[in-house]
Amino acid sequence: MLTINSCSEQAPVKQEVVQENQEKTGWFSDARYGMFLHWAASCIYGGEISWSRAGDPPDSWHSGGKIDPVLYDDSFKIFNPTEYNPDEWVQLAKDAGMKYMVLTTRHHDGFSMFDTKYSEFKITHPESAYRKWIAGQNPSLNDDEINRKTDLVRQFADAVHKGGLKLGFYYSEPDWVREDYRIALTGRNFKGDSLNAAEQEAAEKAYQDFMYNQLEELTTGYGRVDLIWFDAIKPAHASEIGGKAAVWIDERTLEMLRKNQPGILINDRTGFSPDYVTNELRDTRYIPYLVAESCNKIGDPYWSFSSAGTVKPAQWIIDRLIINAGNNSNLLLNVGPGPDGRIPQMYYQPLLEAGKWLKENAQAFYGTHGGPYLFEKWGYSTFRDNKIFLFIKDAGDGILQLPGINLTLISAKTMSGAVLEFNPLSIIHQPSAFHKLNPK
């Protein structure tokens, strides 16, 4: 990788690509890298959360998974993450070079990982193994204090705040165990009876009220919340289930969120205009004006903990970081904590190795804008002020031809400081100094 100092009457890329909304989204674009955490009580089975539940999800494009729904829904009676220490998660995120963290507070299976007044299906249920364990550890606490201590989201939020990172909550719009959601989406109840339009509308309103209430809890009871990562599923055969595309939160909920947390960022899965877009399992491709994030997972095959999972190497992470930053996008990299509450050990090495690389190349990454050279064969670029950073995967014969843009180069060097020769628009490089990208 190398850096070029340029001088020009204007910034390397014209003002027009400077994002709107910069004041609000600035921290997010500067952050460039975050940790996504898919965690739910059902991780005890080591299958994909929600999707491993057998039955017939009202909105999915395939029938359910293999775990009996009664067993699945009872996971919380076994799930007991006694080693949960979110300070350790935060430390890992920081060592990896990440600046924000997003936790599943409630996935499609409808289980709340927090102490909510609006559902019994939650981590503070009287039969929750973890709640019982917390109660046993703290015999002098009353019920409210025990619930507070058992609230996994609270512990997470406190640790993220303490660590100085930005806090994000994932929240699923689908809920596969609530009948009002099913009726709202399909016009049928759990027994399969068809309901009329008025009943369907009432169910939708009831479900939206439920989401409103839970989201109010999440944005008033946990301190500063920097973003909500909504997740919706559009049914593959919408017309077969009453024509609805999805059941979204309503506008009133959005207003409430923005009132409770004035700076909050909201992604593009609400049916309303977003603060940023999320590209799932693919790298972002540059679009001017767009504030973007690519979400991807370090582990396979699942988002959540997998008992027989594999992990991608550091180089894969570095490639994603470069490609996305070069396309003016963040990377939200997912890990699936295990049933004991720990992030699996096998994720540490690649995360830390990529973190080491990031530390060495930090100035080419954080707080930069993607470009100005886009879709080039040789690699990717970012810029900040009058510096352009090039991530070169292939400089061919050693002379890099840069497309003409309106600036004058005044110096070029490698990240380790070695000075390079250059003609007005070509740079002569030392191949060994450059980071190499793996072919995908």
What is the pattern of x (binds ligand GLC, CB under 6 A) and - over residues 301-340? --x-------------------------------------
Write down the residue that tokens 């070069």 correspond to: 326
Point out the residue whose Cβ comes nearest to ligand GLC: 280
Applying CB under 6 A, does 231 fall inside the site for ligand GLC? yes
Structure tokens at 403: 């497309």
Q: Name the residue type at position 213.
A: N
**Binding to ligand GLC by residue 100, rule CB under 6 A?**
no
Q: Which residues 6+ apart lie within 8 Å of 175 measured at CB?
A: 106, 108, 110, 181, 207
Phi and psi based region of residue 348 (left: phi greater than 0; alpha: psi -120 to 50; beta: remaining): alpha
Q: How far is the CB of 61 from ligand GLC (least distance, A)?
A: 10
Chain mean position to CA 119: 25
Closest distance of CB 36 from ligand GLC, Å: 7
Position 391 contacts ligand GLC (CB under 6 A): no
Shortest gap between Cβ of 38 and ligand GLC (angstroms)? 6
CA-to-CA separations, 211 to 173, 228, 253, 258, in angstroms, rounded: 8, 13, 8, 15
CB 280 to ligand GLC: min, Å: 5
**Residues of span 17-56 touching ligand GLC by CB under 6 A:** 38, 50
247 forms part of the interface with ligand GLC (CB under 6 A):
no
Map residues 269-308 to x or -, x wherever contact with ligand GLC holds by CB under 6 A. -----------x--------------x-------x-----
Distance of alpha carbon 98 from alpha carbon 31, whole angstroms: 7
Q: Does 67 bind ligand GLC (CB under 6 A)?
A: no
Cα 375–Cα 14–Cα 279 angle in degrees, nearest 5: 45
Closest CA to 268 of 291, 285, 301: 291
Shortest Cβ 172–ligand GLC spacing (Å): 7
The per-residue DSSP string of 118-153 comes to T-SSBTTSTT-HHHHHHHHH-TT--HHHHHHHH-HH
Question: Residue 405 is encoded by which pair of tokens?
Answer: 């843009």
Angstrom distance (rounded) from CA 369 to CA 381: 9
Phi-psi label, residue 335: left if phi above 0, alpha if psi -120 to 50, beta otherwise: beta
Beta carbons within 8 Å of 221's beta carbon, 6+ residues apart = 154
**Nearest approach, Cβ of 304 to ligand GLC (angstroms)?**
8
Considering beta carbons, is residue 323 or 333 the nearer one to ligand GLC?
333
Nearer to ligand GLC, 102 or 215 (CB): 102
SS3 call for 91: helix
Distance CA 79, CA 99 (A): 29
Nearer to ligand GLC by Cβ, of 38 and 99: the residue is 38
Burial class of 398 by CB neighbour count within 10 A (0 to 12, 13 to 18, 19+): exposed
If the CB atoms of residues 51 and 391 are measured against ligand GLC, the closer one turns out to be: 51
State yes or no: residue 68 binds ligand GLC (CB under 6 A): no
Instruction: Kindly state whether residue 145 participates in binding ligand GLC, applying the rule CB under 6 A.
Output: no
State which residue, 222 or 229, has the beta carbon closest to ligand GLC: 229
Q: Which is nearer to ligand GLC, 54 or 433 (CB)?
A: 54
Largest CA distance in the chain: 75
Confirm if 215 and 256 have CB atoms less than 8 A apart.
yes
By CB under 6 A, the residues from 249 to 268 that bind ligand GLC are none
Rounded least distance, CB 303 to ligand GLC, Å = 5
Residue 271 CB, nearest distance to ligand GLC (Å)? 15
- Contacts with ligand GLC by CB under 6 A: the residue count is 7
Residues with Cβ within 8 Å of residue 139, at least 6 apart in sequence: none
Q: Closer to ligand GLC by CB, 38 or 122: give it.
A: 38
Q: Tell the smallest beta-carbon distance from residue 432 to ligand GLC (Å).
A: 38
In this complex, which beta carbon is closest to ligand GLC, that of residue 50 or of residue 414? 50
Q: Which amino acid is at 222?
A: Y
Tell me which residues touch ligand GLC (CB under 6 A): 38, 50, 231, 233, 280, 295, 303
